[in-house]
Amino acid sequence: MLSMLNRSLALNPKEESFTRYIMKSFFSTKKRKSIALYGGSFDPVHEAHLEVARTALENCDLDAVIFIPAAQSPLKKNAAIASDADRVEMLRLATAEESRFEVDTCELERGGTSYTFDTVTVSYTHLRAHET
């Protein structure tokens, strides 16, 4: 666990982990927030990624879009990718101007092949555990 925390801080020292984000943002008020989890390799993140997220914010009445860079995409197993830290930094820079965009490194912290099912299951479990 400590090595995961150290890796998270190295990759994402200024951002909160998804768990801390949930605790702080989702449960600080009675109103449940609407979020979208947006996963991908983001190598590199580009304008189309941002436009999809902006469209989701507007059309789905979302409070936040959380970008989650994959540790290893199951569809791009042999693709050369930028380092995890570089991809996180690219996402941070690209999303900095929209306050409702967040970057979460949970899949990088978990490591291995990143599957949406696993990320959604963990996220749902955290949400359910903290509902009152």
The DSSP H or E segment spanning 4 is: helix 2-11
Mean pLDDT of all residues belonging to the chain: 81
Q: Residue 72 gets which letter from DSSP? A: B
In this structure, the number of other CB atoms found within 10 A of the CB of residue 51 comes to 10
Spell out the residues 6+ positions from residue 73 whose beta carbon is closer than 8 angstroms to its own.
Answer: 40, 41, 79, 113, 114
pTM > 0.75: no
pLDDT of residue 24: 58
Q: What angle is formed at CA 106 by the lines to CA 83 and CA 57, rounded to 5 degrees?
A: 100
pLDDT tens digits, 9-41: 445 444 555 555 555 555 555 567 888 999 999
pLDDT of residue 9: 42
pLDDT tens digits, 74-99: 888 777 679 999 999 999 999 999 99
Contact 95, 50 (CB under 8 A): yes
Would you say residue 106 has pLDDT above 60? yes
Q: Residue 24 gets which letter from DSSP? A: I
3 vs 21, more confident: 21
Contact 105, 8 (CB under 8 A): yes
| Position 6 confidence tier, pLDDT thresholds 50, 70, 90 | very low
Among residues 58, 69, 67, which one has the least CA distance to residue 101? 67
pLDDT of residue 10: 47
Would you say residue 3 has pLDDT above 90? no
Contact 4, 17 (CB under 8 A): no
